[in-house]
Amino acid sequence: MFIKQISIFLENNPGALREMTELLGKGGIDLLALSLADTQSFGIVRAIVHSDQIDTAMDLLKGAGYIARVNHVICASVPDRPLGLCELLAVIEQAGLSVEYMYSTESPALSITPSRADSPRGRSGTEAQITWFTRAI
């Protein structure tokens, strides 16, 4: 199943993440999942919101001067049992895919972000990045 993800570039400054989440929260946007990767000078926030809130979230972010974009990710269910994740990883490995990053959410799911064909990581556009959605049960 495809879902949409919002990627937001943030300066790596104290309060930047709080300000961005406050903007979205005050705009009525419910963050379902969030992943943050940072470098010395900036961070990339990857957020999942309700599908009917994507446009509103993007309007809020861009209106406040954030650089943000929407891309599609593929979700797959992670069985909630011993070896459930291992079995899913085996299927992913056989497909020539690898894990890129992870979300922490309420129920297990896996997200795969297809690489662009011109990406140095992609092999003729067939390799994909994989995003994990894991939920505490």
CATH architecture of 2-71: 2-Layer Sandwich (3.30)
Asked if 133 contacts 33 with a C-beta cutoff of 8 angstroms, the reply is yes
Domain edges within the chain: 2-71, 74-135
Q: Which pair of structure tokens corresponds to residue 70? A: 């929407």
pTM for the predicted model, two decimal places: 0.69
- pLDDT tens-digit map of 103-135: 655 555 555 554 443 333 443 333 444 554 444
